[in-house]
């Protein structure tokens, strides 16, 4: 997209920021250059609608490039994860690696000539009702420069995983060994022969445990809540693919019963391993609570063989040791927090009632959470991963095109 940069006004925010530059954007402003933001920009571009992508990091898909472990692969088959208008290369395996997925995203951005503006941290976005415009204020680089972008449309594409969740654990300051979030974990190489406690039993926690074992570490897994573990595939077909097909014909409770029976045949009784299943079925729980079932990639076999230990909820951490709610105490050399991420939208989006202040998700669940008021949109908050983001990206582009046909695109102007 080409546009003219102008210094449209000056406004002092604090002693360290001398000037605020204003820029009117002819198309939508998209906050975030992950898969959701890229997909929305590509759908808009296919309709000849320019957009501006603002990204706080130095690269596209910063979560994938900077905050994921080396062995990561897509957990679902690639055809469920492709972005609109461009499939994965046919040479890619069914479950592409992290490196292949990043390469796909970079090719996607290049194909659609998407050029995010990097090092732009959105500090505040609010709707100016007097002018009928969104005002998005950013700080640049080391925060010595402020920009304010104006547009009729704002697309929130920062997603479900914008900030790490760091739990409060009694005594953790006294541990005395390495403590890191999975966003900083790359591989188990540095933990060889070490006893490592992994806190969190989602897909990341389970897979990190397996990775640690493969590097000759001695992992233990904290399982605080009940959890559904399903095989990644059943009879050579992806469990996700089977689920989506069955849901077209049967109620979710019927599909859940089928999945649980098949899982017991393939994986055995996970309750005996310390992984107690919830009362709600895996799909119904996902729909009602947003809790994603774990797709097993080999971790259960190592738990069953005793190579990965399972502990209940942590009670407290002591110097190189931990006590659990069942009274057991064990020694550890390191702790890895597989405690997930959260939305950061309430930190910067002001004055709108589209997003919940508590969790940063749209109040309306999928498929109705993509559109708010006054030209505000959300993409990447469906709790359905890349598939949900692709669906919402198409809807957003279609809706903006309808509005664009009635309102001419804005030209850069003084405000």
What is the phi-psi region of residue 374: left when phi exceeds 0, alpha when psi lies from -120 to 50, beta otherwise? left
Interatomic CA distance for residues 108 and 42, integer angstroms: 9
| pLDDT beyond 70 at 9 | no
Rounded to whole angstroms, how far apart are CA atoms 131 and 151? Answer: 10
How much is the pLDDT for 11? Answer: 38
DSSP 321-381: EEEETTS-EEE-SEEEE---EE--GGGTB-S-SSB-TTT-SBSSPTTS-SB-STTEEE-S-
- In the block, residue with structure tokens 């009632």: 353
Instruction: Name the percent of the chain lying above pLDDT 70.
Output: 92
User: H or E element: which one contains 192?
Assistant: none
Q: What residue spans in the chain does CATH classification 3.50.50.60 cover?
A: 21-162+343-406, 165-340
Average pLDDT of the segment spanning 334-361 = 92
pLDDT-based confidence at residue 21 (cuts at 50, 70, 90): confident
pLDDT tens digits for 76-113? 999 999 999 999 999 999 999 999 999 999 999 999 99
The alpha carbon torsion through 302, 306, 308, 309 (nearest 10 deg) reads: 140
> Which CATH architecture best describes the domain 165-340?
3-Layer(bba) Sandwich (3.50)
pLDDT tens, position by position, 216-244: 999 999 999 999 999 999 988 999 999 99
Q: Rounded to an integer, what distance in angstroms lies between the CA atom of residue 223 and that of residue 204?
A: 13
Q: In 10 A of CB 242, how many CB atoms?
A: 17
Residue 78 CA to residue 147 CA, distance in Å, equals 38
**pLDDT at site 19:** 60
C-alpha dist (Å) from residue 123 to 136, 235, 373, 374, 400: 8, 49, 21, 20, 25
Q: Given pLDDT bands bounded at 50, 70 and 90, which one contains residue 206?
A: very high
**Composition of the chain by helix, strand, coil, percent to 5:** 30, 25, 45
Across 24-44, average pLDDT: 97
Which one, of 267, 257, 208, 279, lies nearest residue 232 by Cα?
Answer: 267
Asked whether 218 and 194 are in contact (CB, 8 A), the reply is yes
Task: Name, in order, each residue with C-beta under 8 angstroms of 311's C-beta and a sequence gap of 6 or more.
Answer: 197, 220, 221, 222, 223, 274, 322, 324, 326, 328, 330
In contact, 315 and 228? CB cutoff 8 Å: no
318: helix, strand or coil: strand
Q: What are the backbone angles phi and psi of residue 334, rounded to the nearest 5°? A: -155, 160
Task: Give me the pLDDT at residue 183, please.
Answer: 96
The H or E element that residue 282 is part of is helix 282-289
Q: According to CATH, what is the number of the domain 21-162+343-406?
A: 3.50.50.60
User: Cβ atoms within 10 A of the Cβ of 173, count?
Assistant: 9
The answer on pLDDT for 5 being more than 60 is: no
Transcribe 56-112 into DSSP letters: SSSSSSHHHHHSS-TT-B-SS-GGGTPPTT-PPPTTS-SS-BHHHHHHHHHHHHHHT
């Amino acid at each position: 997209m080409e546009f003219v940069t102008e210094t449209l006004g000056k406004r002092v925010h604090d002693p360290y920021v001398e000037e605020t530059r204003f820029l009117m954007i002819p198309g939508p402003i998209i906050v975030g250059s992950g898969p959701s933001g890229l997909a929305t920009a590509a759908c808009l571009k296919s309709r000849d609608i320019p957009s501006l992508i603002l990204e706080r990091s130095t690269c596209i898909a910063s979560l994938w490039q900077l905050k994921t472990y080396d062995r990561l692969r897509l957990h679902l088959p690639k055809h469920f994860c492709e972005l609109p208008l461009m499939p994965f290369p046919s040479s890619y395996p069914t479950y592409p690696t992290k490196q292949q997925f990043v390469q796909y995203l970079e090719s996607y951005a290049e194909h659609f000539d998407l050029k995010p503006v990097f090092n732009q941290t959105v500090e505040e976005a609010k709707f100016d009702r007097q002018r009928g415009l969104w005002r998005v204020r950013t700080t640049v680089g080391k925060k010595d420069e402020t920009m304010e972008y104006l547009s009729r449309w704002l697309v929130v594409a920062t997603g479900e995983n914008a900030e790490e969740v760091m739990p409060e654990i009694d005594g953790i300051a006294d541990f005395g060994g390495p403590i890191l979030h999975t966003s900083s974990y790359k591989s188990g190489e540095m933990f060889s022969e070490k006893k490592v406690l992994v806190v969190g039993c989602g897909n990341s926690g389970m897979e990190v445990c397996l990775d640690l074992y493969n590097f000759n570490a001695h992992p233990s897994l904290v399982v605080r809540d009940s959890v559904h573990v399903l095989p990644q595939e059943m009879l050579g077909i992806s469990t996700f693919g089977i689920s989506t097909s069955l849901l077209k014909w049967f109620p979710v409770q019927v599909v859940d019963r089928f999945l649980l029976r098949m899982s017991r045949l393939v994986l055995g009784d996970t309750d005996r391993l310390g992984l107690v299943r919830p009362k709600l079925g895996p799909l119904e729980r996902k729909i009602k609570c947003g809790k994603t079932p774990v797709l097993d990639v080999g971790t259960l076999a190592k738990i069953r063989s005793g190579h990965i230990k399972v502990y209940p909820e942590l009670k407290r951490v002591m110097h190189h040791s931990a006590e659990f709610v069942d009274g057991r105490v064990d020694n550890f050399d390191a702790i890895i927090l597989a405690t997930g991420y959260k939305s950061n939208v309430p930190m910067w989006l002001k004055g709108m009632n589209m997003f919940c202040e508590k969790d940063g998700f749209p109040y309306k669940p999928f498929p109705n959470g993509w559109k708010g008021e006054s030209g505000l949109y959300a993409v990447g908050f469906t709790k359905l991963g890349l598939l949900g983001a692709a669906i919402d990206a198409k809807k957003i582009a279609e809706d903006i095109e309808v509005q664009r046909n009635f309102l001419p695109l804005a030209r850069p102007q003084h405000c």
